[in-house]
Structure 1
């Protein structure tokens, strides 16, 4: 049985925790990002009320069975730096997906790698998960390097895999298997 409460996970410079209303500023700060609102449910409006609606939806992910949506927070000041999720759409097949984003001021500081490592370590404690997957556009080198630093292996290029902004985009597929992780 999967946990019905969000854990708090820490590793290096980050803490993964449930979103709070105070995190609305972080959500609003990526509304104008050229990619994040296109591939996530972050609102493009940049309005505070829409950011609060986003946060509410993140809380509903667990109760709906969609997965676990964590705020990536700075371990020292607990300020939201981004989001990472473990998505359970293929859980019955032993697979879970991962997606993540960071606000601009926290990029390039090891937060994404730490968040991905913390989430994957915790994911392996969940019953029934044998494979973790994530998808990255080929041009997004910082994101695929993050995946590789966390031990994910590139399996190949999925051509025309996902619609992004009314256009089908190629994606690299990355995976990490339970058998890839040293005991």
Structure 2
């Protein structure tokens, strides 16, 4: 069986985050061909070109981890109709220097959860634009979750509603299939 190793990048640090729950659900219901490596982003300082001479250890660790995976699943909240600074900062660090851009040719799946009716649709459109500039291959379509009830996804990623579970499993299966095709 051919396996894909994918980064799991979650743009929320909040305790009890619905996006953390969604990420765990994706990992739980993904096909056996998809293995996730959870990569932390919170220890990196804000991008500053002056630090390129001697990159901080957290930046070197993030870039090294991204270089070891074949694909990435980004699960992000939407802040002010965009993506969180945490995620944008990781994209900025990973894109430098241009010759070593960790996003180039990387297969990316994106999703996010919000209590609002349109989920994270606008933030994902912004993320799609940012990743296109980085020459990433983004899974087509939109996958956002309107988190209407507090228990929709349990802390461990368990989903009781069979329709929501099938939707999440389908997203993960499409991601795995695209990553395998692009390999």
TM-score by shorter chain over 0.5: no
> Which has the larger strand fraction?
1
Normalised TM-score (structure 1):
0.36
> Which has the larger helix fraction?
2
Normalised TM-score (structure 2):
0.36
Query: RCO greater where, 1 or 2, for CA within 8 Å and sep 6 or more?
Result: 2
